[in-house]
Every structure is written in C-alpha cells, then in structure tokens.
Chains A and B, each alone.
Chain A
Amino acid sequence: MIAHVAAAGEQSGRVVLWHGGPPTLSRCAIDAAMLLGHTFQAEVESLYIEDQQLFDLAEFPFARTINPGREGWQALPAETLERNLRQLAAALHRQVSDIAEAAGVPCRTRVMRDEPLRALSLACAMNGPWNVVVVCEPVTVSDDARLTSLFEQVRDTTGVVITGPLTHRTTGPVIAIVEQFYRMGPMLKTALRIAETHERDVRLCIVGNAEDELGWMESEARILCADPDLDGRVSVASVLAADDDAAPLADSLRRHRPGLALAQYGGRLIGPETSVRPLTKMLECPLLLVR
C-alpha cells in the first residue's frame, strides 16, 4: 500500500483535508496535511462537504441546532443554511490556504454537497494515484462507525489521518508502529521519507504478542536499520502487547512523544472492532492509519 507512496518518481497523489462536520477544527490535523503534502510533493485539497442530511433536516419546521456553551436551540432555516455553510467553508478554506502558503504546499479548495462519505469517496476517486484523507475534526467516541465506514466506503484512500481532543504536538520523531513483519519495510520507508524531509528521527516500534515473535521481529528490524545510510537516525523499540492489549502501545507512544505516528488500521490501536475511545484519551500527535 504505502510502497508506491514512499517511492520517489511516482506521480504525486493528494492529501484530502476533509471538513464539514462539527465546527471544531484541529490545527494539528491541518499541520499533518501540510507535512504529508510537503513530504510527498502532493497537493492538499481542502474539501468542505456540506452534509445533504442537514439540508434535508432544514426543510422541517421543527429543525433546530444547539451548540455547547451557547444558550438553547437555534432555528435551522433552510433559506440561510447554504449561505451560512458557504461562509463557514470560505473561512476554513482561507485558513488552510494561508497555512499551505506558509508551508510551501500547493493547495486547492472545493465544496461538495452530499452524504459525507459518498462525497469523500467521489473526491478521492476523481484523482490519484493515491489519496490520504486527513479528518479535520478531532475524533470522538461517536466516530467508531464513521471511521469504519470511511475505510470501507472510500476505497481510493491509502490512509486516514486522525487527531484526538488531546492532540497538540506535530513536532518530534516519526514513530512507525509495526505489528506484522511484512509491513516493516514499507512503514519504515514511509516514516523515513517523512522524517528526512523534516529533519526528524524515526522510531520503529515493533509490537508483538509473544516474546519469541517479538524478538525475531526486532532482530530483523535492527538488521534493516543497520544501513549506514541511515546514519543512526532510526532507533528500534519493542513492545510486548499480549492478547492484543493496546495499553503497552499507548504507553510507548506517550513515552516517545512523536510528532506523527504511523499505524495499521485494524491493528491494536484502532480497527473495525475497536473503539476510538482509548485513542481520544492518549493521542497527542496526528495518527496516520494505513490500510
């Protein structure tokens, strides 16, 4: 999956910065999008998706919305909904464009109206060869199903970057969490590519259920990292996570204080059957979940 992302010479892909949900933005998500765009010479597309369901709801006379911290319910008038959303989108796009310009990353903006995942799927299908979706809002416990659906429905996405309510850091080493041996090479390559572009170190975090398996993977990792060209920029750590327990992995993440983490979707951290809840309590940096 990531092999072609990491390889130089491939036609540039896209980083799709997806917003349109709750108005809480994660600056770290935007920074992560710029980081990936800069690394892979990819364009960032600021994609604002107007949820069609909201327009459907606005047709109802009893439609109204409420925001935390504000007094009571506000009517949701259909007449002004589009204008309000476009204004919001424009503001978001401006913010993203400014950040992109400062980062030296090409950026385009788009507004689509549809059911969010369908719109996203369409957007990713339009351009290739690869897309990484960056979710602009921090994930919440309600996003379990949404994340699963995203990976299921948006087939043309290589990976998804998420942030949590505690995410505050985008500087620091790049940590690649490897739970299966065959992913080690591509994950390391991707991490190295990102790290080199931004003069960071790489931590290769090997996770296993059993000591012997872990030991073997770690030794292979060390052989891989012994390349003189790497110049000591890669360090290897192993985490014993028996019974697929995510807690030791979370501790490791906290300890290394990365600026970006790479992990496999469907691994210990997050997967179709795993709740996002633990991540919301420990994710301090953006997390790139790859297929």
Chain B
Amino acid sequence: MFFKRFMPGKGKSVAQAASAADASAPGNTSATTDVADASVINDDGAKNGASVARAVAKAISRKANGVRRPAPATDAAELGFKTTADLTPSPAPVGQDKALEALTFGATMKGSGHHILVTGDTGTGRRTATRTILRAVAGDMQPPDDWVYVSTFATDGAFRALKLPAGTARRFAEKMALAIDQLADALPVAFADADYDLKRRMIEVEQRLTRDDALEALRREAEAQNIALLRTAAGMAVAPILEGKVVKTDVFNAIPEPMRREVEAKIAAVEAQVEAILSDRPEDEKERRTRIGALTEEIAASHVQVALADLNAEFGEIADVASHLAATGRDLIYNVGLFVAHANEGADGTGSTAGRAAGRESSTVRLVKSAAAHPRFARYGVHVMAASSADGSAPIVEEPNPSYSNLFARIELTHDADGLATVARVRPGALHGANGGFLLLDADALLSAGAAVEPLLRALETEQICFDPPTEPIGIVGDEIPELEPIPLNVKLVLVASDASLQQLSASHAALKHMFKSQARFEAEIAHSADNIAKFAGLVAYVAEKHDLRPFGADAVAALVDEAAQRAGEAMLSLPVSDLVDLCRAADHWADNEDRKTIAADDVTHAVRHLYGSDGAERETRRALP
C-alpha cells in the first residue's frame, strides 16, 4: 500500500529497542504524536476550537485534581542510534496507519461515487498525508479527456461541450484562433481582389445585358416593320420610320387612316414589349442576390476550407469535433462580412495585419493582439474547461474557496456598441479541473460557501457539471445567461473536516454524510509504542533535514518523546507537528548557543521551558491556547 513508503528503513531497529523499553517501563504514559508537514503549520492558521477546549479542560482537570502523572522517561540508549543523522528521514504521519489505509483504499477504489472523508484535528497531518497519497494514486492513473466549450451558433447563444483527447484542448483552441487570424487576413484581400470585383459586377450588370439583348432582338423585329426603337436622352421611344429615318408628321398624316391606325397599333404593341423588358421584376432582383450570395460563398468557402484544414486534419476523426468544425465552416462563410468589416475598421493595431504581425513576434501566438481575441469573433472562441497536465496523470485540484463560480464556472460577458451581450470567456471551475481525478475541499470553506453545497451535491449525485448559478450576477441585469451543455463528471471528492465542521455540514445538508464511502480518521493521540517511537525518530530526522537543523542526539529525541508523552498521558503520544517543529528549531538555537554540534536533551528541555513555561499545567494551557 502507498503509505508503506513512509516507513523509515533504519527505524526498525529503533522500534525493536523501544519495544523492549516499553515492556519494562513503569507508569508508561503514552503520548500521541501527531504528524503534519512542517510546512503546514496550523493547517488552517488556527487551532481547532474543540481540541483547544479539550486540552484546556485536561490541563485544568489535572491542576484541579493535583494529578501530575510523571512523564515516562525514555531511555536514549535503547533507541538504537546515536544521532538522527544515522536515520532515514521520514515525513510519514506517525501512528495513523488506519487512516492511511482508508485513504489509500478510497483513492484507489475504482468506479464513481466513492468519495472520501478525512477527519481529525488540526496538526494531525491529515492534509499532508492526503495530498501525498492522492499524488501517488493520481500518478498511476490515466490522464482524463480534455473538455472545451464552443458555440452552437444558435440564436440562443448556447454552448456545446466537446470532448478531446487528453492534452489536446489548448492546441485545439490555439489552432482555432490561428484559423480566425488567417481568415481575418485572407478574406478582406479576397473580396478586394479584382477578379471577385469583376465577377460581382458581371452579375450586377447581367440583368442589364440581358435586357439589352432583348431590346436588340425587339429592335430588329420592329425595324422589319418600319418601327424603330430609339435610345434617347429622354428614354426609350418607339417611332415610325421610313428608310431608316423617323417619319415626319406631315408624311405620316398623309397616309390613309387605316394604315395610320395600323402603324399606331404596331407602335403600341412594341411599346408594350419594351415596357415588359424594362420593368423590374422581383425575381430578377432575387436571382441577382442569389447569384452574388453564391459567388461570395464560393470565394469564402475556399478560404475557410484552407483555414480549417489543419484542425480537420488533426481533429476531424472525432465525431463531435468534426460536426462542430463543419458548423464553424458554415458559420464563417455566412458571416464573412464580419471579416471585411473588421479589416475596414481596423486602423488600430487590433484589426490591422501589422498589429497582428507585431503580436506574433514570439514563438507563441499572442492572442491578446490577434483578430481572434476581438469581441467581433467571440463566437468562434474555444473555451478550455479541462486540459490534462504535461505529466500525464490524473488531476488533483484543491479549491480553498469553493464558491459556486469557483466550482462550476464563471462566464465573462462583454457588450458591443449596440449593448448586446456576448460571451467573452467561460472560465472553468474546480470541478472541471478535477474531472477524472480528485477534488480536495475543506469543510469549513465549504460551509462558508453556503450556496455552493447543494449544487455540488447534485453534481456528484448526477455525475454531471451543470451550470445553473443560483444568485451570482453575471452581467448587466437583463443579460441572458447562455446555456452550457452539461459535462459528464467523474471525480472523487475528498473532504477534509474537523468533527465540528462535519457536524455542522451534516446538520444543514443531510445527504452529504451518505456520500462518503471511505472515512480516514486521523487521531490526535497515538499509542506510545516502540514502533511509533521509531517513526517519531524518523520524523525528527526529517524535520532536522528540512529545516537545516543540527542532528538530534538520541537523548534529545528521547526528550521529545517524553514531551509528547507528557501531553497525552495514558500511554499515548501527542505532539502536533507544528509544535514539534517549533521545539526542534528552538532546541537547535540553544545548541548553537552552547556551540554544540549535536542537539542534546538539555537543549530540548530549554526549548520546552522557553516555549511552554516550566509549570506543567501552565504549559498545557499555553499550548492549548491559540
């Protein structure tokens, strides 16, 4: 099991010697040694109120009863070493085998829903041990898939979740940004190109050319009947002609009336045809627009295809991603005007090619200056919610402030010139980061979070991360909160709690207690056994090494054991690691004063007196108080 790696190799002989001493020592008062990482002094910055009360009560009780159980004297000679330099330093929590076993079991248990509760007083080493074990377990686990949010391009602004292979989400996001930048450069140029311009004007003129053809055909037909179509400054006119010239009125009036009427009828008929040709037909306009739209689409599509080629090559095999890329391509073509408008407007660095070129000086793309970062193109943004780490292990996320937004996500809105809200960024919550691994929370912090507890429980129960913020404002009042597609959740919650905070949490959220299948309880007091003494010695060696202190002599270690025993009484040991560190450092100071190369028992005694006073009860009281 994982916690076995905490066992100090050289401590075995210490355990055997101490065991022999145990058997012969009368009035053995055990002390519990509580182990915590020296760097975590006062885990949450203050001693637990209940434990303080207990310690004070004990002190008062002893003083009141006049009971002073003498601390058992540990025989340094029987510890089996001269100084701690002879030992293998071990940060392992002493005497917490059951807790470590429960932790390891819970962490390695396969399947979902097996959440872990870690309880114990501050200073018992619960957090350090939890982190150590989780790191070891996570290191052997496969990194989970990455997740991103992308727009559905629907009018409601909803987002869909895409699952990507582990470690690829950031690359996907960067490549999409690069594609947008590429189009921001290429599309305006394409639509300013002379070839496009000519084709577009051809379509615009086509209707006129078709009309001209029809008029020309009519002209020839009419001319055969001595009717002319004249294109004049006043417009098109229809006139009777003779030998290619318009007939004079006197000549016309001289012809017989039936003939005149016939000519007038022909003129009227030609005029009707001219009017029909010249009249604007709605379907012509519609056809013109359709053809221009098709031309625009054709030009845009070729560039969009090139821009997305890289993404398609790398991610096109993933079904959901392929469909998103197809939808993105369609949306880009439909909104090609955004790119032209961006180029037209961008005299500043944001929109100009020069500005983007400056932003790409370094080897990484500086998105802050790229077109992709502009609110105009926010709809194409890829919001990375979970990205696997470089070392390829399962994630461990510790959230010190488990508010709703810190757990579930935060949406940042921006507003355009018309006041319309656009999603600028979707920031992931701790649940996203921990998905596929472990989420480490503190019960007191969770209690403070209040509104986040129920949603968290719901998420763990449904195994989904659903974004449904309770009351937190997102943007301006009235802004629509976009819908985020739920993401499947597979996380182990590891909750670190004191007895008091657990009680409070359970009282307010009954379902919470039933969620934890494993409970690792770190005891404040441990057995005063040879094995524990051996581990304690290894811990002292670790503290000395970590804080660059002198090695402790066996007598000094014995003195520390005695101190731990005195605190706990009743054949137990109790010494929070923060106190142990303080004592060790103070003892080192005294040794330094005496020019000793090794810390001796006297130095420890001095340190105890200095830190906690000489009177036993007073010492206990002082130690208990925050």
Contacts and interface: CB of A to CB of B under 8 A. Distances in A.
A56 B239 CA distance: 9
Contacts of A165: 205, 208-209
Interface string A85-126: 100100000000000000000000000000100000000000
B247 A85 contact: no
Interface in A25-75: 50-51, 53-54, 56-57, 59-60, 62-70, 72-74
B281 to A, nearest CB: 12
B169 to A, nearest CB: 47
B234 interface: yes
Interface in B205-253: 205, 208-209, 211-213, 215-216, 219, 229-237, 239-240, 245-249, 252
Nearest to B274: A66
A128 interface: no
Interface string A255-280: 00100000000000000000001001
Contacts of A166: 198, 201-202, 205
Contacts of A85: 233-234
Contact of B248 (A56, A63, A70): A56
A280 B235 CA distance: 21
A66 B232 contact: no
B198 A54 contact: no
Contacts of B231: 21-22, 142
A76 B248 contact: no
A63 B202 contact: no
A68 B278 contact: yes
Nearest to A68: B278
Contact of A74 (B215, B233, B235): B235
A53 B230 contact: yes
Contacts of B252: 60
A282 to B, nearest CB: 9
A277 B198 CA distance: 17
A53 B235 contact: no
Interface in A233-291: 254, 257, 277, 280-281, 284
B271 interface: yes
Contacts of A68: 211, 278, 280
B234 A65 contact: yes
A70 B274 CA distance: 13
A69 B235 CA distance: 11
Interface centre among B201, B233, B248 (most CB of A within 10 A): B233
A23 B239 contact: no
B264 A62 contact: yes
A54 to B, nearest CB: 5
Nearest to A78: B249
A254 to B, nearest CB: 7
B275 interface: yes
Nearest to A59: B249
B540 interface: no
Interface in B180-211: 194, 197-198, 201-202, 205, 208-209, 211
B210 to A, nearest CB: 10
B239 A53 contact: yes
A174 B197 CA distance: 21
Interface residues of B, number: 39
B353 to A, nearest CB: 23
A63 B202 CA distance: 34
A261 B252 CA distance: 46
B212 to A, nearest CB: 4
Contacts of A59: 248-249
B215 to A, nearest CB: 7
B482 to A, nearest CB: 45
B533 interface: no
B219 to A, nearest CB: 6
Contacts of A140: 212, 216
A218 B137 CA distance: 81
B209 A281 contact: yes
28 contacts: A21-B231, A22-B231, A22-B232, A51-B230, A51-B232, A51-B233, A54-B232, A56-B239, A57-B230, A57-B237, A59-B249, A60-B240, A63-B237, A63-B239, A64-B271, A66-B275, A66-B278, A67-B235, A69-B280, A70-B235, A85-B233, A88-B233, A142-B215, A165-B208, A166-B201, A166-B202, A280-B209, A281-B202
Nearest 6 Cβ contacts at the A-B interface: A65-B235, A67-B235, A53-B246, A59-B249, A140-B212, A57-B239
Given A23-B235, A67-B236, 7 more contacts: A23-B233, A57-B239, A60-B239, A60-B252, A64-B271, A76-B237, A257-B194
Interface of A: 20-23, 50-51, 53-54, 56-57, 59-60, 62-70, 72-74, 76, 81, 84-85, 88, 115, 140-142, 165-166, 168, 254, 257, 277, 280-281, 284
